Amino acid sequence: MGFFLPINYQEPLQSTFCQFTTSSMRKNPIWQQLTELAQQDDRKNLAALWRNPNRQETLVFEFGDLYLDLSKNWLDDEVLEVLCQLAEHANLKIAIDDMFNGQVVNTTDQLSASHTQLRNPSHPSYQLNTEKLFTLADQVTSGQVKTAFGKPVKQLVNIGIGGSYLGPRLVVEALTELQSESLIPIYFAASVDDSLINQLFKSIDIEHCLFCISSKSFSTVETLMNARAIQAKLKEVKGYQPDQQQSSLMAITANTPRALKAGIPEYMILPFDTTVGGRFSLWSSIGFPIVLAAGKDEFKDLLAGAHLMDQHFQQQPFKQNLPVLMALLSIWYRNFIGLSAYSCLPYDARLRSLPKWLQQLMMESTGKMHNISGEVINYPTSPWVFGDHGQLSQHAFFQAFHQGVDALPLDFIGVMEDNSSSQNFLLFNLIAQGAALMQGKEEDQSMKGCPGNKPSTTLLLKNMTARSIGQLLAMYEHMIYTQSVIWNINCFDQPGVELGKSIARDIQQHVENDSLNEMGLDPSTMALIRKVTELKNDSID
């Protein structure tokens, strides 16, 4: 039996010119020099690298509320120097200026990337953004905005996925736990899953709840399905009377006409510009749940921290530039050492969503096979990103870190503030894990021994404030942009996200029309669809 491809499948773009241009990166003298350096054993031997008495001094960096220790990495002055030359060869400084000056950097859609403008208090976009957010937030918290039951808003459910969910949730969790309680408690609905939606309805007071549909395009399938489910639930509740004066629904979108068509009153729509990328959008109207949960001052501090990092990224030379250093280190490991994974490990429960946010930011931005000219590349880009709360991870996958044959870059993230003894114990665990990975331990019983020489990065926040969180998140954003410039890819598009969704919609349509055989799917997929539909029919019978 032959193998059948989906009807929309296309072969990857191939051309002689493409092969020449992508291979030219590997032929670049700087690239070749880094390749040769990576093949020298001492470059991957932390004991040998630490023979340099100045190592601690030269590989530890401080800026704002961040303390970055790169000294436990397979990195030395010579490698760092050549990596900086690679960044210069990629015209990184020009690319940085282009982004901040509003030039086209999203070459796929021919758009600028304006998320940094939203946190620059001297830019007109800053004032427009904060005014509309704060005005509606004041109306909600003062009781002026009423739900469709005529009740004041006491809760908000954010209905969104991807960048409309991960960033706001991360910041809401980080900031609201600094206070005794949220100004307005926030709930999040992302997955299209009946069990989660039903559980949500059991947790909220529906008559006092505002449902916020967050979608840049207002066409995201999962978000709209959840929105329709909530609308149906609202209609079942006695006293539901939506009109132009009271509404249980609001929207945050770059497509106001679609939100209006869906029945959202205009005064309950917070727009943002199409030049703001979804996973870079928590600084925009998408951050409305942050304002409701933590307050206007906290949101302004968040923006201020990010803007401080923006200035650092623009102004500092590469060797002292935190986002650039993080990006160069990741490229060294990915392209020259050959490590294919990357882990983010916050040792603070308030940052528990940071790994998922970074996973989307990095993998959706730089998981690309085409350069900005549309040519297929022949070098790896995004690593596989994963992580969890640090101490929980110690009892999950750290065994593989210590005794597995592989190594991978690890970011240990901690918070230095007036901690309790238990919080200090978390930090001691963070420090100990980095030391143990580097030093290892010899044992008479060999199975208990750990080889050591495993690299890691330690990143400490001086405190847990909105300002420090803004610096941290902006640093990672600029790290990803730097990677994309050096890899010559576009970090602001995500064409691969749509393929599976498109096939899912086609399957659903063909199942409903009883025309599945017309899709030309492979036998495995056909059998799975039949299994699922047979089970559904059996349950109906």
Catalytic residues: 364, 395, 501
Question: Cβ distance 90 to 488 under 8 Å?
Answer: yes
Query: Hunting for tokens 């995004």 — which residue is that?
Result: 382
Find, among 348, 229, 278, 233, the residue nearest to 493 by Cα: 278
For residue 415, the SS3 value is: strand
One-letter amino acid identity for 529? I
3-state secondary structure 141-153: HCCCCECCCCCEC
- Tally the residues of the chain: 541
Q: Half-sphere exposure (CA, 13 Å, Cβ side) for 80?
A: 19
For residue 246, the SS3 value is: coil
As a whole number of angstroms, the distance between CA 3 and CA 523 comes to 7
The DSSP code sequence of 112-170 is: ---TTGGG-TTSHHHHHHHHHHHHHHHHHHTT-SB-TTS-B--EEEEE--GGGTHHHHH
Q: 224 — phi, psi (to 5°)?
A: -70, -35
Helices marked H in 316-389? 322-331, 354-366
Query: Hunting for tokens 């961040």 — which residue is that?
Result: 66
Burial class of residue 317 (count of CB atoms within 10 Å of its CB; 0-12, 13-18, 19+): exposed
Question: Cβ distance 492 to 113 under 8 Å?
Answer: yes
As a whole number of angstroms, the distance between CA 138 and CA 238 comes to 28
The answer to whether the Cα torsion of 292, 294, 295, 300 is positive or negative is negative
For residue 408, the SS3 value is: coil
